[in-house]
Structure 1
């Protein structure tokens, strides 16, 4: 009995197949949600490394504990201003890269 070779797929191939090709609305929404989720996890990690509670971080930037909790679970509803305030309070550097066609603009 001959052994069948199992076809393997890359992550991008799986995303293309099940979420949508790059540039489609579905794929763009997925990638955005993923980035916001990662950003929330980065905020939580930085806060924990600074040994701050959500309440303490909230006090540093002038928001309630519940806002920090929402931000850490998903940064979707946060403004860039709030995100910058959080990272400044955590004494952490954050950079934004904007790609315009083939050129990159970096905002710090």
Structure 2
């Protein structure tokens, strides 16, 4: 048997091959869903750190417990207004970066 080397691939190469290249609709949707999932997990972690139940956080924000539950499992159905209200209720600072091509947009 000949000694065969196994080819390894980077995560970026695997995403390009199986999800789609950057800039394609499939890849954009995947990246969006991933970011919304991470945002939901951040909300849940912050809520737990504040020792709040979903119901208590919902009361602070003015929404039902079920909406907080949905938000924590995936924030893709939430409006930016709701997300900001949640972080305000959690007394958590949130920062947004907007990047156009290779330049970050700074608001002064």
TM over 0.5: yes
Partners of 1:106 and 1:50 lie apart in 2 by 31
**2:13 matched to which residue of 1?**
13
Flag the 1:86–1:106 CA change in 2: closer, same or farther, 3 A.
Answer: farther
> Is 1:62 paired with 2:58?
no
The question of whether the paired residues in 2 share the 8 Å contact of 1:41 and 1:72 is answered with yes
Partners of 1:33 and 1:6 lie apart in 2 by 32
**1:71 matched to which residue of 2?**
71
What TM-score does the superposition give when structure 1 sets the normalisation length? 0.94
Computed over aligned residues only, the root mean square deviation of the Cα atoms, in angstroms, reads: 1.1
Partners of 1:31 and 1:87 lie apart in 2 by 22
Partners of 1:62 and 1:71 lie apart in 2 by 14
Question: Structure 1 regions of 5+ residues with no counterpart?
Answer: none
Residue 97 of structure 2 aligns to a residue whose secondary structure is: strand
Partners of 1:105 and 1:55 lie apart in 2 by 37
Q: How many Å apart are 1:72 and its aligned residue?
A: 0.2
Flag the 1:9–1:76 CA change in 2: closer, same or farther, 3 A.
Answer: same
Runs of 4+ residues deviating >6 angstroms? none
Question: Structure 2 regions of 5+ residues with no counterpart?
Answer: none
**1:37 matched to which residue of 2?**
37
What TM-score does the superposition give when structure 2 sets the normalisation length? 0.94
What do the CA deviations read for 1:45-77 (whole angstroms, capped 9, x no partner)? 000011000000000010000000000000001
Q: How many Å apart are 1:99 and its aligned residue?
A: 1.1
